Amino acid sequence: MSPARVRRAVHESVSGLPRAFWWLWTSTLVNRLGAFVATFMALYLTLDRGYSASYAGLVASLHGLGGVVSSLGGGVMADRLGRRPTLLIAQTATAASVALLGFTTDPVAIAGVAFLVGMASNASRPAVQAMMADIVRPEDRVRAFSLNYWAINLGFAVSSMAAGFIAEVSYRAGFLIEAGMTLACAVVVFAKLPESRPAPAARQSQAQVGLGTVLRDGRYMAVVGLSFLVALVFQQGSVGLPVAMGRAGFSPADYGLAIAVNGVLIVALQIPVTRFVEHRDPRTLLVASSLLAGYGFGLTAFAGSVGVFMLTVCVWTLAEIVSAPTQTGLVVRLSPLHGRGRYQGMYTLSWSVAALVAPLMSGAVIDRLGAGWLWGMCAGVGTAAALGYGVLMRRLPPEQAAPGRAETEPEQGSTAVRTA
């Protein structure tokens, strides 16, 4: 591909999105660039503090439990208080709790603060997704969610590499740097992002949405259930795969080499693949990505070398690239304008619960039945999710933009954004 075609492709990928989106995107990138603690937390507890691996696992579980609790709470806050206040509260609380964790020494206190960190850091996710849906035109949402997902993975890749170097100097410095960068995100939100929640007149013209409304929405809850199944499969990349490779005699370095393919491919392919699929039928995309995910992990049962493991990672990474923005776009499409925060919170909950269940499931299956059964189960779960999406996604409702609110001014040089 010539440089001119590359430039044109990049321009088409980023043009037409409102300025507020890019500030939100920048906030996401800065937040992920500073996400050091999740990477070195286990090493900090076992090597620096001298605690057992079991205690480190308990702390990680409590951190995840905090995310489960705040998934719904963050969604409610985004609808009641607004997207911007929720982001400010969540990011400020995250910065304070991460800094506090760096100075906490008592084991009970460490576990408690880790729970708070999990709560605070996850509370912002429904607000981010709801704000993105508010400010981006329906036809551009899949592209916007894809760009945001790309920023998450780029930031995580860089922070994962930087975390090791920072840990060699000072673990506490890592806590403080993450706290500082999270606080910088709050400053960006405060200075550059206006509130995007639908105008009061638009909210008053429709029935109020509570968590009970979400739970009674059978079609949407079925999609949340399918999201949970897909999340269970994808979680095996970080919980089942390293255990299975270790049992098969491969070293941690071998696993690191295999899983690195995931991050590299997402950074390299997320934008071009999204350009290819963004206007295609979401039903087809989710069915295909669910099958790719399930059978990508299923093929791991036949892997006998690092190279083959890497090939299987390529398969399910392609599924992840297609699935992530498409699923988020589907959630927006099925959400009422005035209940986007709660609906996004329920969607976030499905991934948080999967992060808790997946380690228990993979460990039990590998110990009792063997890794081959785990990979076979992944293929079965992926097939079940694909069938579910095929049935549930008939006659989707049209996408909606928030009424009564002019969308944010687009970035200079981009296509003008119309009023929603």
**Cα–Cα separations (whole angstroms), residue 97 to 101, 111, 113, 177:** 6, 12, 7, 13
Predicted structure pTM score: 0.76
The mean pLDDT value for 38-60 works out to: 78
150 and 267 Cβ atoms separated by less than 8 Å = yes
Q: Calculate the average pLDDT of the chain.
A: 83
Three-class SS string for 11-58?
Answer: HHHHCCCEHHHHHHHHHHHHHHHCCCHHHHHHHHHHHHCCCCHHHHHH
| pLDDT reported for residue 1 | 55
Of the chain, the percentage scoring pLDDT greater than 70 comes to 88
Most confident of 13-17, 143-147, 182-186: 182-186
Dihedral of alpha carbons 42, 46, 49, 54, sign: positive
Tell me the HSE value of 163 on the side-chain side, using a 13 A CA sphere.
Answer: 21
Of the chain, the percentage scoring pLDDT greater than 90 comes to 30
| CB neighbour burial string for 361-400, b if at least 16 within 10 angstroms, e if fewer | bbeebbeeeebeebbbbbbebbeebbebbeebbeeeeebe
Q: Is the pLDDT of residue 329 over 70?
A: yes
**Selection from 373, 389, 268 nearest residue 318 by Cα:** 268
The mean pLDDT value for 137-149 works out to: 85
Q: Is the pLDDT of residue 129 over 60?
A: yes
**Selection from 70, 80, 84 nearest residue 209 by Cα:** 80
Distance from CA of residue 156 to its chain's centroid? 11
Q: What is the pLDDT of residues 75-117, one digit of tens each?
A: 889 888 899 999 999 999 999 999 999 999 999 999 999 999 9
The domain limits of the chain are 18-199, 210-396
206 and 76 Cβ atoms separated by less than 8 Å = no
Q: What is the pLDDT of residues 180-212, one digit of tens each?
A: 999 999 999 999 988 888 776 554 545 567 778
| pLDDT reported for residue 372 | 92
Tell me which CATH code domain 210-396 carries: 1.20.1250.20
Confidence tier at 408 by pLDDT (50, 70, 90): very low
Q: Do domains 18-199 and 210-396 have the same CATH topology?
A: yes
Dihedral of alpha carbons 326, 332, 335, 339, sign: positive
401 and 231 Cβ atoms separated by less than 8 Å = no
Tell me which CATH code domain 18-199 carries: 1.20.1250.20
Q: Is the pLDDT of residue 337 over 80?
A: no
Confidence tier at 399 by pLDDT (50, 70, 90): low
